[in-house]
Amino acid sequence: MSELIRNKIRAIPDFPKPGIMFRDVTTLFKDAQGLAETARLFYEHYELWSIDKVAGIEARGFIIGAILAEKLGVGFVPIRKKGKLPAAVMGEEYDLEYGKDKIEAHLDAFEAGERVLLIDDLIATGGTALAACNLIEKLGAKIVGCGFVVSLPDLGGVKKILDRGYEVFDLIKFNGE
């Protein structure tokens, strides 16, 4: 989609464990031109959609999600790790490679029937994104799409999200790299 964005994403081999090629978007976000291009591309894709709220997954999904929400003129909802939100929450547990984790959102984060766009920095196996979709729907809202800066299609997460009937938009794909 944009070579500018691709070239600003740092690859870190063997992080967090051997055999993993970590795609670090902090190098993209620290660059004013890269951050602006990322926000512009998301906005151009979603500007005509009927969206009531943008939800961003902790932590890097907060960055683009909040910028996009402001550009679209809608509210932003953080999807946080367990125990980080101060008011009453609902949670969704999901599987990790070696165990489980949980994300949460405030009970009053969404109004019934609101149309929500989910944003995160990266989609790999899809566990966190699918958990966020489940959580948003349990809270009474409807997922209209899932946007990611980076997708790693070889890891199957995009297919899982598409199989659930959600639209997926990504800016950059890293296939087997």
Please, what are the domains in the chain?
48-173 (3.40.50.2020)
Tell the residue number behind the tokens 């547990």, with chain if given.
93
The catalytic residue positions are 60, 97
Q: What does the pLDDT read at residue 98? A: 74
Q: What does the pLDDT read at residue 177? A: 57
Q: What does the pLDDT read at residue 104? A: 98
Q: What does the pLDDT read at residue 17? A: 87
157 contacts 170 by C-beta, under 8 angstroms: no
123 contacts 148 by C-beta, under 8 angstroms: yes
Amino acid at 165: G
Q: What does the pLDDT read at residue 175? A: 87
Sorted by sequence, the CB contacts under 8 Å of residue 14 that are 6+ apart come out as 20
155-174 residues labelled b (16+ CB within 10 A) or e (exposed): bebbebbeeeebebbbbbbb
Q: What does the pLDDT read at residue 123? A: 96
Amino acid at 147: G
Q: How far is CA 113 from CA 46, 70, 144, in A?
A: 19, 21, 11
Q: What does the pLDDT read at residue 96? A: 79
Q: Which residues of the chain have pLDDT under 70?
A: 1, 97, 177
